[in-house]
A and B are shown apart, each in its own frame.
Chain A
């Protein structure tokens, strides 16, 4: 396996494996948020705001994986 192939493989693995955790996290997070909204519709605004903050924080993890795969693809020579 030459270095180019290793890079491609690493990039694919980085993003593929890296989105698993955030995917589970986002699912749990949004599910709970929707449950809370269904239970207490009068708090929808607050819950949604906090949900977006949480989404931002969790999503950043997947994006780190994305950046790592970008670095592997385009920066590492």
Chain B
């Protein structure tokens, strides 16, 4: 009950703060796309082509990792046989990751690959959740929403982890040649076999694309819609329309909480499906 009230307070505050998230305050012409542009907050020297400058996205990544590290260390310190509310919550998350995601789709290798599947679930969930908090990291240090998972570079890196681990798992299980041979249907006629092999390779790369783009586009679209609702209130310059739009943005915000969870869930469960597909005998 108390938690529920707290949640409502957070939502209402978040939505009200949304009114002030716009760059330059009450500009009537707002470019939503600007919200997702990255400007270096701390400039660092370039290492060849790699620009390690600390941008908004990097700060969000740090925050995500910090939250995870603090949470993990805290929960490992206070572990008790009779769990408190915090430990129960952590155990619930763990249960979703272990039984709901890894356990439900992987028939083999849960013990080996759960650390990765669970980590990717927690990482995406935490970064999505942080994306729903207004933080003063905008261009002019105003409060704003930004999700680091709404950046294709981040999601494609995460998808690459899944991609690499999938093939590593397959190769470790069956040997390099045995794993690649598994992609060819031995029963197919000679030319078709090679064609299927090529199609399989293409589909492996499309998995990479679909994993990364799904997460990226969902988070980006969600934040863009939220930003559009917030900016429209300014565009119309009317308290009546603004209040209606704020009601709409509350609904959208709730929906975004759901999306944040579902996207983490889907990313992790698809990773589990891919890894277990590489591990299984018949392919």
Contacts and interface: CB of A to CB of B under 8 A. Distances in A.
Given A49-B104, A49-B105, A73-B33, A66 B217 contact: yes
B270 A53 contact: yes
Interface string A47-65: 0010011011101100110
A3 B214 CA distance: 29
A9 interface: no
Contact of B273 (A46, A53, A73, A74): A53
Given A57-B210, A67-B213, A49 B218 contact: no
A50 to B, nearest CB: 9
Interface in B252-268: 262, 265-266
Interface string B216-229: 11101100000000
A52 B269 contact: yes
A63 B221 CA distance: 9
A46 B104 CA distance: 7
Contacts of A59: 214, 218
B178 interface: no
A63 B214 contact: yes
A70 B158 CA distance: 21
A29 to B, nearest CB: 14
A70 B216 CA distance: 12
B249 to A, nearest CB: 20
Contacts of A60: 210, 213-214
B100 interface: yes
Contacts of B269: 49, 52-53, 56
Interface in A11-63: 45-46, 49, 52-53, 55-57, 59-60, 63
Contacts of A66: 217, 220-221
Contacts of B265: 52
Contact of A53 (B213, B220, B221, B266): B266
A66 B269 CA distance: 23
Contacts of B104: 45-46, 49
Contacts of B33: 73-74
A19 to B, nearest CB: 11
Contacts of B220: 66, 70
A57 B203 CA distance: 13
Nearest to A65: B217
A55 B105 CA distance: 15
Contacts of B218: 59, 63
Contacts of A74: 33
17 contacts: A45-B104, A49-B100, A49-B104, A52-B262, A52-B265, A53-B105, A53-B269, A53-B273, A55-B262, A56-B214, A56-B266, A56-B270, A60-B214, A63-B217, A64-B213, A66-B220, A70-B217
Interface of B: 33, 100, 104-105, 210, 213-214, 216-218, 220-221, 262, 265-266, 269-270, 273
Sort A-B residue pairs by CB-CB distance and give the 5 closest, nearest first: A63-B217, A56-B266, A60-B210, A60-B214, A66-B217
